[in-house]
A and B are shown apart, each in its own frame.
Chain A
């Protein structure tokens, strides 16, 4: 099924419910008038795979494609296209689909499907409207053979062509296996429904026969696996209804296309609101943790923060919020988890988010409390140099307004990486608790004063000299040392000034991020 140019929360948007309702079998061979045939076909199409299958879908705690769309969009705003397209499989057999039991043709991908999806994506790119895919697909339709495979590739190509032009979101609402998984992987965001959705290249049966591993669908590719271990999906929701309501909420943060500015919504939270609780949020002992999400909630409009990947690489926090009504992307080190250090996973998580924001004109606000990159063989063998470079690259490349607040530690290379002044940060602030240095006092003293007797005195001297915001401030590496309670007011003001920011880059075919 496919749809086009509809208003979800007051916007243009294309929806691809790949899978459920799809092409329709030719039912009406007898001679009827054209009008009647149209009517008949519409009715059959609306029923999808028939009442029995709708019931079966409901019994599994899932909704049909049409029901899903009715929840996702504003009432009456959905216009379906290609309702009359039929599948092109000559020797289709119903039996093959029964076990899979999806409403129409198990949502497996036919040539006709792919054609419909491509058509709508092409139009979305032309008009500049986001694409949302509701995936509930059984993989390639074996009966159609190579035509299905071609269909996949056609979609992949569109995903890539549309990448960075319009936001693309995938919501996985059922099994999605085989080649079908690459379409979500190519889109900007992948969300999953807990307990009913799976993403894997090969299912448990194949895994068993190849590697002799016993694994369930849920363990192999359930929402928990992908949102906590693999990082394939960006968030998981309780059920279809919850997921679609959240998707509506999420959609409001995004611009329609890369040609549009970050959306600005009516705001009831004063932009100059002081936040007194921030003055004491950073603990006095620099080894003590605090929750960066507390700071984010206090600073943004109405404490609303849509976190991306909240359960994966938790030492970095990324997500969308609004400042004075304008969508912003927030990146923050999380001192509560692994001291907020950067490692492979957190660098990749942060980099992908930063690049999305940059592609769609969403200003970036970075809260820094980073003790450095995580040391160790696991990280070095895993290629922390290569992966850490991604985050560095992403911040350096970003031309959207960049505001950085150093709340506490900003040590070593990690300081540079986290949207520092040197990477063309537009406004860089330090709180009075900031410590901007090459490393912490203890480590530094051990190196500089190796074998020295009075270690404590040396450490005190180091802290006095380096573990404060002044060395950076006198060099202009931070623009101001601000009272934490004024952070919201300062950022809102800066974003207004930076709204017209324009940066020219030399021509190139495309940049070469260290993948």
Chain B
């Protein structure tokens, strides 16, 4: 397998170069940000990332005049940022719906390459070629995903052949899109049946995300760590390894939390892995930034997984601890300059952690996509040691067409403890409203005792949360703190309601704060409270006059119901509202497009049988029956766009 991948990597680089016009060169890579159109936080951000940034830029070292960035979102912003630093003009490409997005505003020029679906825009080779011609860009930077993925190689399979190959390799196997990465089009199969299902779903996903439905099947090593080595090569036969990244915290084979260095590796293993990675890069004459992925078992045996011939999403943690700007180095070596560093120059300074902040509901399978408009958005860049790579701004839409990532939040500190503490603060101070986000999950992971000890594997989430993620479990003192916060907010609102700036509204009764007796309902338990506040960071997300309050505390959003003691006493006379019986109805758990409906009214379905498939954010989600019964009515058709909570199918 290693040999195949090596060949692939080298050929991709060569093959692509042949296909682009002569004066243009392809740089394989990825991510930083600034905003042309400057709200105050972006200025702050510039400052911060300069601290975190790379070795200086040498203005005499001429590279390119103009680069086209063939991507969108945070990675496009990241690349444009380094280009600006190097005095290179940038061209953004965008789809119709992205016309006002941040990467378009940041770039010097922008070209629309088609409508929203990626196959018609960001993967539309003809339109992109046209854009290159029109703007006379000398080089193209593909970022990651989309065009950066190597898609020329891999065999075409059908489902039965997939089963045969899987049997040969021995279960469990991993089925993945050959063009893929980042968990899309990736599934694990433990038997023939799952292989067939996985094959079907993965190839559809791969086709819609990458424009290439070809798949790979490989051995799946159970319970490993995922550790990867960043390499950097030039066209003069030099290559460096830039230490490792620990990427074991994953869900659905997509990374969630990454860090550098890995708490697991000792210097010896690190060097062994690094040297192998460099040997590989040299062997294929690789001349850009790349990543060699390994699986590492509990005895520190490492197994080569694959080489990614591009920059990875999680490259910022490496930049933080090495002080290099990888995009800058990629542009330099693409122009033909030799590397500026020797292996001995590369050290590990401090510790960096990256959390991928997604528009996802972490309470559903560790993250089902959510869409919406960021009605409020503020990045915690005022905190020390925080870097954020994002391609969005207040008011941006998270649409069903693209990846639901909001940003990459990176914190950096002198050691792991400091980096993690800063991450905690940064997550608490991150303001994201309008879409569901996964901050609760991220915060739980980084404070989890197993994670803090470094006892992690790729199965971390399912091991720690076997029944799914349920939010932060409050300790007694935390609970008291939360109750106090809710109470003080409630009292503050009540008192302010009497502060009218006119004479006609002098309150008859003078409020006596000491007499605020409150009653708070949290998790169905009622607490009697007299308030005080010990001052930890929290956000009041919503408040209704009826007493409902949502407070984000320690990452998790708590729904509370707060009333005066009197109102609470009277509230016990209120009747329970009858909840709708949902066992026989199937609602869409997320917004998306119905790809297939496998039942019609009158059909008998067994519990767990597939009823329909919904595609959202390029992930295909199979909806299954909650119980055995007859289908009463079907409310969706293939091709329909459905919203979260829309009725799909009713059973008798």
A228 close to B (CB within 8 Å): no
Instruction: Decide if B375 touches A294 in the complex (CB within 8 Å).
Output: yes
**Of B193-201, B223-231, B570-578, which binds chain A?**
B570-578
Map CB proximity to B onto A41-70 as digits: 1 under 8 Å, 0 otherwise.
000000000000000001111110001001
Q: Report the separation of the CA atoms of residues A12 and B509 in the bound assembly, to the nearest whole angstrom.
A: 11
Q: Which of A246-275 contact B (CB under 8 A)?
A: 246, 248-250, 252, 256, 260-261, 263-266, 275
Closest Cβ of chain A to B553, distance in Å, is 20
Instruction: Decide if A195 touches B504 in the complex (CB within 8 Å).
Output: no
Instruction: Decide if B508 touches A7 in the complex (CB within 8 Å).
Output: yes
Q: Which of B372-396 contact A (CB under 8 A)?
A: 373-377, 393-396
Range of interface residues on chain B?
35 or more
Q: Report the separation of the CA atoms of residues A266 and B497 in the bound assembly, to the nearest whole angstrom.
A: 8
Q: Report the separation of the CA atoms of residues A252 and B574 in the bound assembly, to the nearest whole angstrom.
A: 25
Contacting residues, chain A, for B563 (C-beta < 8 A): 241, 245
Instruction: Decide if A277 touches B500 in the complex (CB within 8 Å).
Output: no
Q: Which residue of B lies closest to A193 (CB)?
A: B574
Closest Cβ of chain A to B387, distance in Å, is 21
In the complex, which of the residues B374, B545, B546 has the most CB atoms of chain A within 10 Å of its own CB atom? B545
Map CB proximity to B onto A297-327 as digits: 1 under 8 Å, 0 otherwise.
1100000000000000000000000000100
B58 close to A (CB within 8 Å): no
In the complex, which of the residues A59, A62, A244, A266 has the most CB atoms of chain B within 10 Å of its own CB atom? A266
B606 close to A (CB within 8 Å): no
Contacting residues, chain A, for B376 (C-beta < 8 A): 277
B498 close to A (CB within 8 Å): yes
A115 close to B (CB within 8 Å): no
Contacting residues, chain B, for A246 (C-beta < 8 A): 544-546
B466 close to A (CB within 8 Å): no
Q: Which residue of B lies closest to A256 (CB)?
A: B504
Q: Which residue of A lies closest to B545 (CB)?
A: A249
Decide yes or no: A325 and B501 within 8 Å by CB, A61-B573, A239-B575, A249-B545 being known contacts: yes
Instruction: Decide if B395 touches A245 in the complex (CB within 8 Å).
Output: no
Q: Report the separation of the CA atoms of residues A67 and B99 in the bound assembly, to the nearest whole angstrom.
A: 57
Decide yes or no: A11 and B501 within 8 Å by CB, A240-B570, A240-B574 being known contacts: no
Q: Report the separation of the CA atoms of residues A239 and B577 in the bound assembly, to the nearest whole angstrom.
A: 10
Map CB proximity to A onto B428-456 as digits: 1 under 8 Å, 0 otherwise.
00000000000000000000000000000
Contacting residues, chain B, for A89 (C-beta < 8 A): none
Instruction: Decide if A297 touches B498 in the complex (CB within 8 Å).
Output: no
Q: Which of A131-154 contact B (CB under 8 A)?
A: none
Range of interface residues on chain A?
35 or more
Q: Which residue of A lies closest to B576 (CB)?
A: A61
Contacting residues, chain A, for B497 (C-beta < 8 A): 9-10, 248-249, 252, 265
Contacting residues, chain A, for B100 (C-beta < 8 A): 280, 284
Contacting residues, chain A, for B373 (C-beta < 8 A): 277, 281, 294
Instruction: Decide if A241 touches B509 in the complex (CB within 8 Å).
Output: no
Q: Report the separation of the CA atoms of residues A265 and B496 in the bound assembly, to the nearest whole angstrom.
A: 8
Q: Which of A65-122 contact B (CB under 8 A)?
A: 67, 70-71, 74-77
Q: Report the separation of the CA atoms of residues A70 and B509 in the bound assembly, to the nearest whole angstrom.
A: 14
Instruction: Decide if B500 touches A264 in the complex (CB within 8 Å).
Output: yes
Contacting residues, chain A, for B608 (C-beta < 8 A): none
Q: Which residue of B lies closest to A240 (CB)?
A: B574
B39 close to A (CB within 8 Å): yes
Instruction: Decide if A239 touches B574 in the complex (CB within 8 Å).
Output: yes
Contacting residues, chain B, for A74 (C-beta < 8 A): 507-509
Instruction: Decide if A277 touches B570 in the complex (CB within 8 Å).
Output: no
Q: Report the separation of the CA atoms of residues A472 and B563 in the bound assembly, to the nearest whole angstrom.
A: 51
Map CB proximity to A onto B534-566 as digits: 1 under 8 Å, 0 otherwise.
000000000011110000000000000001001
Q: Which residue of B lies closest to A275 (CB)?
A: B394
Contacting residues, chain A, for B500 (C-beta < 8 A): 10-11, 263-266
B567 close to A (CB within 8 Å): yes
Q: Report the separation of the CA atoms of residues A279 and B418 in the bound assembly, to the nearest whole angstrom.
A: 38
Instruction: Decide if A276 touches B395 in the complex (CB within 8 Å).
Output: yes
Query: Which of B377, B395, B571, B575 meets A281, CB within 8 Å?
Result: B395
Decide yes or no: A266 and B499 within 8 Å by CB, A238-B577, A245-B546, A248-B545 being known contacts: yes
Q: Which residue of B lies closest to A263 (CB)?
A: B500
A437 close to B (CB within 8 Å): no
Instruction: Decide if A62 touches B573 in the complex (CB within 8 Å).
Output: yes
Contacting residues, chain A, for B508 (C-beta < 8 A): 6-7, 10, 74, 77
Q: Which of B347-395 contact A (CB under 8 A)?
A: 373-377, 393-395
Q: Report the separation of the CA atoms of residues A97 and B501 in the bound assembly, to the nearest whole angstrom.
A: 48
Instruction: Decide if A260 touches B504 in the complex (CB within 8 Å).
Output: yes
B502 close to A (CB within 8 Å): yes
Decide yes or no: A245 and B567 within 8 Å by CB, A10-B500, A260-B502, A266-B501 being known contacts: yes
Q: Which of B573-622 contact A (CB under 8 A)?
A: 573-575, 577
Query: Which of B496, B501, B509 meets A264, CB within 8 Å?
Result: B501
A278 close to B (CB within 8 Å): yes
B526 close to A (CB within 8 Å): no
Decide yes or no: A195 and B575 within 8 Å by CB, A70-B566, A77-B509, A263-B500 being known contacts: yes
A219 close to B (CB within 8 Å): no
Q: Report the separation of the CA atoms of residues A322 and B616 in the bound assembly, to the nearest whole angstrom.
A: 39
Instruction: Decide if A7 touches B507 in the complex (CB within 8 Å).
Output: yes
A356 close to B (CB within 8 Å): no
A242 close to B (CB within 8 Å): yes
Closest Cβ of chain B to A379, distance in Å, is 29
Contacting residues, chain A, for B374 (C-beta < 8 A): 277
Instruction: Decide if B375 touches A10 in the complex (CB within 8 Å).
Output: no
Instruction: Decide if A245 touches B504 in the complex (CB within 8 Å).
Output: no
Instruction: Decide if B504 touches A241 in the complex (CB within 8 Å).
Output: no
Q: Report the separation of the CA atoms of residues A489 and B505 in the bound assembly, to the nearest whole angstrom.
A: 27
Instruction: Decide if A76 touches B545 in the complex (CB within 8 Å).
Output: no
Contacting residues, chain B, for A281 (C-beta < 8 A): 373, 395
Closest Cβ of chain A to B498, distance in Å, is 4
Instruction: Decide if B395 touches A241 in the complex (CB within 8 Å).
Output: no
Query: Which of B377, B506, B545, B546 meets A10, CB within 8 Å?
Result: B506
Contacting residues, chain B, for A245 (C-beta < 8 A): 545-547, 563, 567
A237 close to B (CB within 8 Å): yes
Q: Known pairs A74-B509, A245-B547, A279-B395; list 20 more (Cβ under 8 Å).
A: A10-B505, A60-B575, A62-B573, A71-B566, A71-B567, A241-B546, A241-B547, A241-B563, A241-B571, A245-B563, A246-B544, A249-B497, A256-B504, A266-B501, A276-B393, A277-B376, A277-B393, A280-B395, A284-B99, A294-B373
Q: Which 5 A-B pairs have the closest CB atoms?
A: A249-B545, A277-B395, A61-B575, A10-B507, A277-B394
A–B Cβ pairs within 8 angstroms, 27 of them: A10-B497, A10-B506, A11-B505, A12-B504, A74-B507, A75-B566, A195-B577, A237-B546, A238-B574, A239-B571, A240-B574, A241-B546, A241-B563, A245-B545, A245-B547, A246-B545, A263-B500, A263-B505, A264-B500, A265-B496, A265-B497, A275-B394, A276-B393, A277-B376, A277-B377, A277-B393, A294-B373
